[in-house]
Chain A
């Protein structure tokens, strides 16, 4: 009797211990096969290489169309250059999932894709143009100016070269002073969108690039130089990023491969979740919608925002599935996060794939809406309840998928998601 009680007591104690301890009850099986996870990370780098390489080749195509525009500025050559810009965005937007989590991209990105911008820094703008409060460069108009005084500093602008333009980014400390990158090119090709939340994009005439009698806009030689220089800079920036992802080199990819598997997986998941929630659902959609603010629209000059958002979403899906469809139609595919998650929790993998499909469908409605003539800046107009519902549908789908990405991270035993703070030491 006594011994039974004491056995019971022991049993009780051990049950309590096992149920209440902070430690897991038994040593769990590893969350994934490490060798397999290495292959997943390596393939992630292959995806990045393919996407940046496509972004580079499309930027070179764009450069060709810009040459044609400058050789013969007319409505057709301008339309072709604009189409080349839109095409160049398709692979680039799919690279943005690599930005968050990989410092090498995040630090490089400002010169390439900074947004939103006070475009009055670059060229002429309408009188009622709204810049950021206290921005000393808001109306600098580099194209029209040989020099610029900011505070005590006198800047010589006479020679428009890549170094000068790059140095003017964040002029006077303002992040909206963006002199280079996709959105500077976009502004030069389209001009300001003066339609607010009504239909229509920027309507810069081709004659802004003409010389002689037909020229409009003023300072056209400098506008032509600016467009050429800034496009060449984009190309050289993309070349540098492609080099970071080449295999068997002393580059970022080598660092990633040398780092722990856990960190590699963390970076992949952090990129997916940050783009999905904070950046795409938040900064790029919710802010613009809630404030009915077309200035906070992503591609506000060209009204190409629907495709930017769609391909951002595609990038998130690419990383999870280990797939990427190249510009030439080829598909790159290989070991994926999906494989790792499915190996231990197939139901979660299916659920996350379903979420990714759902968010793709929701972002597709933005594309369909634009195709029928209602662009993102009209969807966010005050009083457009249907438009708000469309945008909110996309936001909600992204929020939902982010929650599932967190669950996938847990399955892979990754609790702290932010690579910047995950491995600190005091």
Chain B
């Protein structure tokens, strides 16, 4: 009988803690942490590339490419940034959007007028608006900076931003990997943050659903959804580099990577098919966009296409936030976009 009890206990542990805990562990090890590592490694390249361009050893096109790579890693990371990167104002140090009042141009120029030879501490003491990729993009892509002719003016800032991004990603990675760090919190329970794997999975899904909600915002804002349908091209994310759509694609791929792992927990084949189809439709629709988002929103003949994309994102959000969460018995909770 005692052996039977041992057997039962072992089986219960294996059968019960398993599926959800396994998926949560896989997500942490194989999706979330690697996305943070990739972001850090792209930031390393960005710093190298910035130094090379500033010392005249590299073409501007290569620096722009390095910027796109960092931006893309950051976009993928947004639906995956459970824990350290979501806390404090860290994510805003990476990107400041939306920037309706063009604060990035004003604050960048003011900062460089004040400190001709900007030091790292001066940059660290300034606002998040000038510390991240938004300011980097402004310097590289805005016509008014004429960055090639004004290399001396802008290089201290570009190098400072690249260094700030690398330091930030190093810090975040350390918070993931240190003992009792984020990785431990997502893989061994109970801990100070999560009582069990369900709570951890709920935390991951919340960030992922918020990521999908943010995609809606990034599409809907330039479409004019907050502005009686009048397009707001300058409120598109990354309008200066014309990379809004690529960013949306990278974020969607990040969100989908979570779903790919969660799928095995869902017993309802209809729900699985609906969510799979929703991702596929949105992916195809993004793929089919023929021009940069800031141009498309101003083209009346493209409105139906964009509306349909928006509605599909909305449907995906509801499928996950509501149907999937209910199916799994997980509360998604409030997200930072509620109340907008």
A residues lining the B interface (CB < 8 Å)? 8, 11-12, 15-16, 19-20, 22, 100, 130-134, 170, 172-176, 270, 273-279, 282-283, 286, 289-293, 295, 382-383, 402-403, 405-406, 409-410, 415-418, 421-422, 424, 426
Contacts and interface: CB of A to CB of B under 8 A. Distances in A.
B8 A283 contact: no
A261 to B, nearest CB: 18
A134 B232 contact: yes
B125 A277 contact: no
Contact of B339 (A279, A383, A426): A279
Interface stretch (B45-53, B95-103, B171-179, B247-255): B95-103
A170 B227 contact: yes
Nearest to A99: B339
B292 interface: no
Interface string B303-332: 000000000000101100110011111111
Contacts of A170: 227-228
B11 A134 contact: no
Given A286-B89, A416-B322, A421-B322, A291 B128 contact: yes
Contacts of B129: 290-293
A403 B234 CA distance: 35
Contacts of B65: none
Given A22-B327, A291-B96, A417 B334 contact: yes
B133 to A, nearest CB: 15
Contacts of B126: 382
Nearest to B129: A291
B336 interface: yes
Given A172-B230, A278-B336, A424-B322, A132 B128 contact: no
Given A131-B101, A278-B335, A415-B325, A174 B16 contact: no
B92 interface: yes
A11 B8 contact: yes
Contacts of B228: 170, 173
A93 B232 CA distance: 30
A22 B329 contact: yes
B334 A273 contact: yes
Interface in B1-46: 1, 4, 7-8, 11-12, 15-16
B336 A173 contact: no
15 contacts: A8-B1, A12-B4, A16-B11, A16-B16, A22-B327, A130-B102, A134-B233, A170-B228, A174-B230, A175-B226, A291-B96, A383-B125, A405-B334, A415-B331, A416-B331
The 5 closest A-B pairs by CB, nearest first: A173-B230, A278-B339, A279-B339, A274-B339, A173-B227
B314 to A, nearest CB: 9
A409 B322 contact: no
Contact of A275 (B322, B332, B337, B339): B339
B12 A19 contact: yes
B340 interface: yes
Contacts of A415: 325-326, 329-332
Contact of B127 (A16, A286, A291, A418): A291
Secondary structure class of chain B's binding surface, majority of residues: loop
A176 B226 CA distance: 10
B290 interface: no
B101 A16 contact: no
Interface residues of B, number: 55
Contacts of B233: 134
A107 B331 CA distance: 27
A406 B89 contact: no
Nearest to B268: A22
A289 B96 CA distance: 13
Nearest to B14: A16
A12 B11 contact: yes
A251 B58 CA distance: 68
B327 A418 contact: no
A169 B234 CA distance: 20
Contacts of B234: 133-134
A113 B322 CA distance: 31
A5 B54 CA distance: 77
B333 A417 contact: yes
A292 B103 CA distance: 10
Contacts of B326: 415-416
Interface string B268-282: 000000000000000
- Max chain A Cβ within 10 angstroms of own Cβ: one of B101, B106, B329, B338: B338
B224 interface: yes
Contacts of B235: 133
B103 A291 contact: yes
Contacts of A277: 334-336, 338-339
B111 to A, nearest CB: 10
Nearest to B93: A290
A172 B230 CA distance: 7
B229 interface: yes
B267 interface: yes
A402 B339 contact: no
A36 to B, nearest CB: 23
Interface string B174-199: 00000000000000000000000000
A134 B298 CA distance: 13
Given A8-B4, A382-B126, A421-B321, A270 B338 contact: yes
Given A134-B232, A174-B227, A424 B318 contact: yes
A166 to B, nearest CB: 14
Contacts of B328: 22
B226 to A, nearest CB: 5
Nearest to A106: B339
A278 B334 contact: yes
Contacts of A130: 101-103, 106
- Most chain B CB neighbours (cut-off 10 Å) among A276, A405, A416: A416
A250 to B, nearest CB: 29
A295 to B, nearest CB: 6
Nearest to B125: A383
Nearest to A402: B334
Contact of B16 (A20, A283, A410): A20
